[in-house]
Amino acid sequence: MNAPPAPIAAAASRYSPEVAAAIAEECAKAGIELVASLPDDWIAPTIAAFDGDPRFRHVPVNREESAIGLCSGAFLAGTGALALMGASGLMTLVYAITKINYTYEIPVFILITQRGSLDDGAKFHVSNGLYLDQVMRSIDLPNVTIDSRDRLPLIGEAYAHSRKISRPTVAVLSRKLLQGLA
Amino acid sequence: MAGRKAKAEELQRGAAVAAILKRRGDALVVTGIGNAVHDVAASGDVAENFYLSGIMGGAAMVGMGLALARPDRRVLVITGDGEMLAGIGSLATIGVEKVPNLAIVVIDNRAYAATGMQATHTARGVDLAGIAKASGFNHAVAVSDAAGLRAVVDDAYEKPGPYFAVLRVKSEGSPRVRVPADGTFTARRFRRALLGDEMNP
């Protein structure tokens, strides 16, 4: 096996490291210690922020279901966890969420990007804009959109809400927030 | 690899799992969906068993989450070859993260026994222990006889993890035993055993 890679760098991203740091701060305040992430360039600085922050154990995973499994296992042992991914990732998770988290009443907090929004120029994310809300609604998945810095405390509220209802909750991060423009 | 036929095996799955669990001590056990649930429950339905009956391919990562959260406890994932194949990418994550207190034992009967004995890819030569080794597991073995099983019984608890063992067993399912069917009960019982009165939220 190769040596561990260097810490993830946030440089050269079009997205705001200050907002990323603020997101990490809200997560730490909420009691999150373990972060499972999957890549999306909107959250590249956010992933880097978690990776470089000693308050968190950051685990890059290679499938969204792995993030749900990891966070669910951590919950069983009393550790607060976060699954961080793009909107496309959440679209793959109906099976895992309904089979693990609903069946066993295991809360998981999921942070996703709002890929497919009006300000997303990527044609291949149109499907998220069309169906993400409907998919979340179809499985009664509580979610909140965070589209400005003054709404970042909703991260802690959404995390606490997942514990209260013993089910997953989702916070959706807008592009302008992550760019530092809102 | 192509066209390789599985050899006749000596191990009987229920007895093999019982031998491993006999010395579990305070180890936490996660099962994969399918016959592994019955193999583990037949050795004693205790609160420190988490029967993950809901999802194919999720057991290893639930085990990893537990192991990271409780580095003071050995975590043993017991699952089948079909379930492990469904979550095969998780071996890469566990391997690179070098989770020291995690052991995975795969009961390899080369078939989806719970759904009609359809052949899995291990029946055609896919080498799960080889994949684990190449993914960075500290130890990865495949055993098919009593001597090999005796080594696994010790090593699954004592070798620095991540540890991976394939038990090549007879190609058959397991006798059904009574297992708590309610997921909420199973999860809350498990958490209470680990966390006691600190279990909320």
The average pLDDT across B83-101 equals 98
pLDDT, residue B2, reads 41
Q: Measured between CB atoms, does A35 come within 8 Å of chain B?
A: no
Residue A174 within any structural domain of the chain: yes
B58 to A69: CB separation less than 8 angstroms, yes or no: yes
Q: What percent of chain B has pLDDT over 70?
A: 94
CATH of the domain at A167: 3.40.50.970
| Domain around B65 | 2-198
pLDDT, residue A78, reads 96
| Domain around A16 | 6-179
This complex has an ipTM of 0.94
Given the DSSP bridges, would you call strands B118-119 and B111-112 parallel, antiparallel or unpaired?
A: antiparallel
CB A89 within 8 Å of CB A73 = no
Q: A23-49 pLDDT, tens per residue?
A: 999 999 999 999 999 999 999 999 999
Q: Quick one: how many helices (H) and strands (E) in chain A?
A: 8, 6
Residue A1 within any structural domain of the chain: no
A73 to B69: CB separation less than 8 angstroms, yes or no: yes
The CA–CA distances, whole Å, from A14 to A113, A161, B132, B151 equal: 15, 31, 37, 53
Cβ count near B159 (within 10 Å)? 19
Share the mean pLDDT of chain B: 93
Q: CA nearest B198 in A: which residue?
A: A78
Residue B6 has pLDDT above 50, yes or no: no
Q: Measured between CB atoms, does A165 come within 8 Å of chain B?
A: no
Name every chain B residue with its beta carbon within 8 A of the beta carbon of A65: 55, 57-58, 61, 87
Name every chain A residue with its beta carbon within 8 A of the beta carbon of B188: 105
Q: Measured between CB atoms, does A39 come within 8 Å of chain B?
A: no
Q: What is the nearest CA distance from B7 to chain A, expressed in angstroms?
A: 31
The average pLDDT across B101-115 equals 95
Residue A80 within any structural domain of the chain: yes
A76 to B184: CB separation less than 8 angstroms, yes or no: no
pLDDT along chain A (182 residues), means of 10: 66 87 98 98 97 98 98 98 98 96 97 95 92 97 98 98 98 98 96
Q: Measured between CB atoms, does A111 come within 8 Å of chain B?
A: no
Name every chain B residue with its beta carbon within 8 A of the beta carbon of A163: 201
DSSP calls for A53-112: -TT-EEEE-SSHHHHHHHHHHHHHTT-EEEEEE-HHHHHT-HHHIIIIIITTT---EEEE
Residue B1 pLDDT grade (very low, low, confident, very high; cuts 50, 70, 90):
very low
CB B169 within 8 Å of CB B107 = yes
Domain tally for chain B? 1
Q: What is the nearest CA distance from B17 to chain A, expressed in angstroms?
A: 22
Q: What is the nearest CA distance from B88 to chain A, expressed in angstroms?
A: 10
CB B65 within 8 Å of CB B55 = no
Q: CA nearest B93 in A: which residue?
A: A61
Q: Measured between CB atoms, does A77 come within 8 Å of chain B?
A: yes
Name every chain A residue with its beta carbon within 8 A of the beta carbon of B139: none
Structure tokens of A117? 């929004």
Q: What is the nearest CA distance from B146 to chain A, expressed in angstroms?
A: 31
Phi, then psi, of B11 in degrees rounded to 5 = -70, 140
CA geometry: angle A179, A124, A91, nearest 5 deg: 85
Is the pTM higher than 0.90? yes
Residue A69 within any structural domain of the chain: yes
DSSP code for A151: G
Domain tally for chain A? 1
pLDDT, residue B199, reads 66
pLDDT, residue B3, reads 41
Cβ count near B161 (within 10 Å)? 22
Residue A38 within any structural domain of the chain: yes
Q: Using CB atoms and an 8 Å cut-off, which of residues 70-109 of chain B contact chain A?
A: 70, 87, 89-90, 92-93, 95-97
DSSP calls for A106-145: ---EEEEE-TTSTT---GGGHHHHHHHHHHHHHTT--EEE
Respond yes or no on whether the N-terminal peptide bond of residue B201 is cis (omega within 30° of 0): yes
Name every chain A residue with its beta carbon within 8 A of the beta carbon of B92: 62
Q: CA nearest B47 in A: which residue?
A: A76
pLDDT, residue B176, reads 85
Lowest-pLDDT range of A71-85, B26-40, B187-201: B187-201
- Distance in angstroms (rounded) separating the CA atoms of residues B20 and B154: 8
- Distance in angstroms (rounded) separating the CA atoms of residues B53 and B45: 14
- Distance in angstroms (rounded) separating the CA atoms of residues A113 and A20: 12
Structure tokens of A71? 């966070």
Q: What is the nearest CA distance from A23 to chain B, expressed in angstroms?
A: 22
CATH of the domain at B87: 3.40.50.970
